[in-house]
Amino acid sequence: MIDRVADGSPKVSPVMHLLALTPTDSLTEGYLPAAARLGLDVMLLTDAPDAHRRAYERCGGNAGNAWPRIDIVPCEVRDFREVIARIAAHNRRPEAVFTNSDHLQVQAALAADWFGLPGKDWRAALRTKNKAHMRRALAESGLEALWSAELSSPGEAESIRPPFPCVVKPREGVAGEDVGLVEDGGRLLRHCREVWARRPGLPLVVEEYLPGPVHTLETLGDGHALHILGSFHEVGVAPPHFVLLRGDLLPETPRPHTEQVVERLRALGVGFGSCHTEFVIQGDRARVIEVNYRSIGDHADLGLADALSIPLFEHILRTHLGRPLPACLGARTARRALRIEAVLAERGGRLKAAPGPVEYERDEVRLVYRPMREVGEERLLHHSDRDQLGIVRATGPDQDRIGRVVAAFRAEHHWELV
């Protein structure tokens, strides 16, 4: 993307260095079109270059979105030293280092700091990614204490005495993988051994179970002001596996819980870029489940941009370019209702039949469906978000109307596992 200025010399677009593992819809439908609208070139560092090339050949510039110039560079992105070396070897000065991956926030933060660019505090990124660090930091702040312990061997699992029921999960896990509610010491040990049989040495966290309705808080900060974008009520998140079925955007964030969650985020050092926090409401108290220092996934980020009628992805990228956010951003409320609903596999097997991408408007409801698994693909049942066959995103005047349109869509289509 090289233009010419008045004197005929080349005008080179600023470049954003983007760290990614596998391709996601947030990248293909959100961040890359936003980068193009901001006039950025993109150097994409990834350990899955072929997967990204296939994804961008298949859906590049979809839905009428222009795409930036993308240079896909193979890189061991989980190693911050390799990331810094790759960026330094590039012949263009970086304007921003960005990632929306749960696994790469620390690496991106360290790389941004190395090159003197705006970014997240790497300590805050590590503190939120590592669930044991998060629990310790919240306890030390005096804002919230919860029984928790780290495990790495059966002997440690046998020696602890947690309050039952308790939750077991990977210390740095994502997507609800290997999360379970256990009722006694025998089930605790069995769950740990099952996880370690598949993932030897994986650090686990055991913590007190927090019953109650599950909500999220979506925030965006520029290092000075922290703006509240919205809150979802997560419907159907039930033990023992806590797989998300549906998320409804609330007309207003719950009070006084929002203020309590923000206090905890500040104690963790969160205040730059996007953040997705899950919490439980217990009366007037908010109890934090986990903090994901990136934008919400499963198409909820795309839906949030529609419901709020804001250029959300551009705002997020602008913070990493060092530009302040609009002062009025946190005062916006959703203009339309929003629902995110997952189509989940009920068993393992090969996906024999399923709809492809769908978009239409019916009864003032805009419905978008995106498959999360290709026909012919075979998987075991994971009891996590990995069991998603597809995601429905619907915006409309109210949840009742959205519910009718989503129900009709699901009745009109067929998913078959064999």
Q: How far apart are CA 17 and CA 12, in angstroms?
A: 15
pTM comes to 0.93
What share of the chain has pLDDT > 70, as a percent? 95
Mean pLDDT estimate for the chain: 92
> What average pLDDT does this structure show over 242-254?
93
* Phi, psi values for residue 196, rounded to 5°: -70, -25
Q: How far apart are CA 177 and CA 203, in angstroms?
A: 13
Q: How confident is the model at residue 92 (pLDDT cuts 50, 70, 90)?
A: confident
Q: In the prediction, which pLDDT does 226 show?
A: 95
Pick from 7-16, 189-198, 345-354: least confident: 7-16
Q: How confident is the model at residue 7 (pLDDT cuts 50, 70, 90)?
A: very low
Residue 41 has pLDDT above 70, yes or no: yes
CB 356 within 8 A of CB 342: no
Q: How far apart are CA 56 and CA 28, in angstroms?
A: 7
Q: Closest by alpha carbon to 267, among 140, 361, 97?
A: 140
Q: In the prediction, which pLDDT does 65 show?
A: 58
pLDDT 10s digits, 376-387 = 999 998 888 889
CB 23 within 8 A of CB 51: yes
Q: In the prediction, which pLDDT does 228 show?
A: 95
Q: How far apart are CA 83 and CA 107, in angstroms?
A: 7
Q: In the prediction, which pLDDT does 241 show?
A: 87
Q: Closest by alpha carbon to 367, among 336, 409, 398?
A: 409
Give the helix/strand (H/E) hosting 318: helix 312-320
Query: Three-state SS string across 324-385, please?
Result: CCCCCHHHCCCCCEEEEEEEECCCCEEEEECCCCEEEEECCEEEEEEECCCCCCEECCCCCH
Q: How confident is the model at residue 157 (pLDDT cuts 50, 70, 90)?
A: confident
Q: Give buried/exposed letters for 206-234 (b at 16+ CB in 10 A, else e).
A: bbbbeeeebbbbbbbbbbeebbbbbbbbb
Tell the burial category of 307 from Cβ atoms under 10 Å away from its Cβ (0-12, 13-18, 19+).
Answer: buried
pLDDT 10s digits, 124-153 = 999 999 999 999 999 999 999 999 999 988
Return the SS3 of 157. helix
Describe the strand order of the beta sheet including 94-99 as a list of residue ranges. Answer: 70-74, 41-46, 15-20, 94-99
Residue type, 214: V
Q: In the prediction, which pLDDT does 60 show?
A: 54
Residue 287 has pLDDT above 80, yes or no: yes
Pairing label, strands 41-46, 15-20: parallel
Q: How far apart are CA 294 and CA 310, in angstroms?
A: 18
pLDDT 10s digits, 197-245 = 999 999 999 999 999 999 999 999 999 999 999 999 999 887 888 888 9
Q: Which residue has the tokens 């705002």?
A: 315
How far is C-alpha 91 from the chain's CA centre? 31
Q: How confident is the model at residue 9 (pLDDT cuts 50, 70, 90)?
A: very low
